[in-house]
Structure 1
Amino acid sequence: MIGIVRPSAADLLTLGNALCGAAAIVLVATTDAATLSTEHLLQVVAVLLVCATVLDTVDGPVARRWGGSALGAPLDNLADCVTFGVAPAVALSVLVGRDGGGNPALVGGALVYTAGALLRLADFAAVRHEQADFTGLPSPLAATCAIVLGFLSPTAWVAAFALAALGLLMISSVRYPAQRGAALALSSAGWVVWLGGSLGLYPMPAPAIAGLVVVLLVVPIAHNVRLQTTALPAQVDP
């Protein structure tokens, strides 16, 4: 007999999300280069992140279909904090530091990233204002960008700057489309491509660069241009 609220099936999926993030942190912290190369360890972390994202995506529909519990919302937020707020910062900073001899800037970049992710997730939990689209870079996308960057073998300074930039983007006013329709199709295709690269089916640098450009430039620019265009008053012919 347990002394807490009995978790629902959806809660167990959410817990799986958190455990994927925790596993990534523990593996990065305890695995040395002699046991597993940086590239292979990065592939493992990437696969764990993909699994976590899938679990984070399906726990909501499962809760709506079969019912959730009082644990659902707070557990979901805590899981996202671990998987998308802490794990990517730890993974990228430790793995880059492993090959580059360490750099204090990596600690600063990782802290800015984590702070941005936690503030974003707390804001979403408290305000719940994001409906039609998202304000700021969603934390799963930020986590993806951080891990994808690792496949490009960045220097410590580049990784530190990228982590800090991602942290600031998560709390920025830049708007991103919600994951539905064309945005969902593009996102799903991106996850499939990224999973293939993470599993070593093909070299990762090319899809990594393409993914970063699409997520950080093409999608937000196109979405914000569309928002501005639809907000303009219709012209009336004289």
Structure 2
Amino acid sequence: MKPRFVGRLGLADAVTVGNAALGFVAAVAATVDATLAARIILLAAIADALDGVIARKVGSTPAGTYLDSLADVASFGVAPALVVACLAKAEWSLSGPTVETATLVAGIGLPALFVAMAVVRLGLYTAYDIEVSETQGVQTTLAATVLAAFVLAGFDDPLLLVPLTLVLAVLMVTTITYPDLHAQDALVMGVVQFAAIVSRGWYGRGFAYALLFLALGYLVLGPAFYWREGL
């Protein structure tokens, strides 16, 4: 008896499923090494872009859209939120009878809010934005990339990351319109992401800064200044 997915899923779907698995691996890594988890999240972001390229080249399946959103919850919702929560736990001691409620809410509640808003954003995207070249709210991939780049660049203080997590959670469900990246820009982003993943030392830190610059530039300036189709 063969598995149900045989003959129903394509190559792009296989990459998407791999993206989901990377999300789990990143979540596990977050409990041990935030930097390693950040690298895996960026690898998942590359896989997320790759499955779209494959789908456009060889075709997609009816399940592809749903698989993509489900995988993104793991890789760009749960995994980056757990990175932040684990860093906060290590720095603020979020367990034991003496932990303050405000600290607990900040260190665990705000990452949980990030996951919740990522789920909402992905559901809305699948329902309303899948066929258009722009979307409302910050993409979950972009939000996760920003958090991962901050960690790889050495800005891993929860006093910075926890408020940033809240800001990104809010931005994911705003009505601010973000145009899709054009192919050449997505390629540049992917190359910088890959370099940040594999490089070490000063080179790695430099590529992390470059990725942070690109991601924050699009996050802040994209809605108003990024060029759209037909312009």
TM-score, normalised on structure 2?
A: 0.78
CA distance in 1, matches of 2:81, 2:34: 13
Separation in 1 of the partners of 2:56 and 2:217?
34
Q: Tell whether the 8 Å contact from 2:43 to 2:194 is kept in structure 1 after alignment.
A: no
For residue 193 of structure 1, report the CA deviation from its aligned partner. Answer: 4.4
CA contact (8 A) 1:174 1:220 kept: no
Cα distance in 2, alignment partners of residues 92 and 217 from structure 1: 22
Offset at 1:160? Answer: 1.7
What TM-score, normalized by structure 1, do the two folds share?
0.76
Instruction: Pick the structure with greater CA Rg.
Output: 1
Give the number of equivalent residue pairs. 218
CA distance in 2, matches of 1:68, 1:153: 39
Which one of 172, 175, 200 corresponds to residue 173 of structure 1? 175
Give the C-alpha shift of residue 186 in structure 1: 4.5
What does residue 118 of structure 2 align with? Answer: 117
What SS class does the counterpart of residue 137 from structure 1 fall into?
A: coil
Q: Offset of 1:138 from its aligned partner?
A: 1.1
- Cα offsets for 1:30-83 (capped at 9, x unmatched): x3xxxxxxxxx2332122122212221122332344444343221111101111
Letter in 2 for 1:43: T
CA distance in 2, matches of 1:145, 1:134: 18
Aligned partner of 2:197 among 195, 198, 222 = 195
| Alpha-carbon distance in structure 2 between the residues aligned to 1:180 and 1:49 | 22
- Where do 1:133-144 residues align within 5 Å? 133-144=134-145
Contact kept? 1:11, 1:72, Cα under 8 Å: yes
Matched residue, 2:221? 221
Say if 1:149 and 1:87 are closer, same or farther in 2 by CA, change over 3 A: same
Aligned amino acid, residue 149 of structure 1: F
Alignment-derived partner of residue 92 in structure 1: 84
Aligned equivalent of 1:5:
5
Structure 2: tracts of 5 or more residues without a match: 95-102
Asked if 1:15 is matched to 2:17, the reply is yes
Distance of 2:49 and 2:130 partners within structure 1 = 19
Distance 1:226 1:133 in 2: 11
Aligned CA distance change for structure 1 residues 91 and 222 (closer, same or farther; 3 Å):
closer
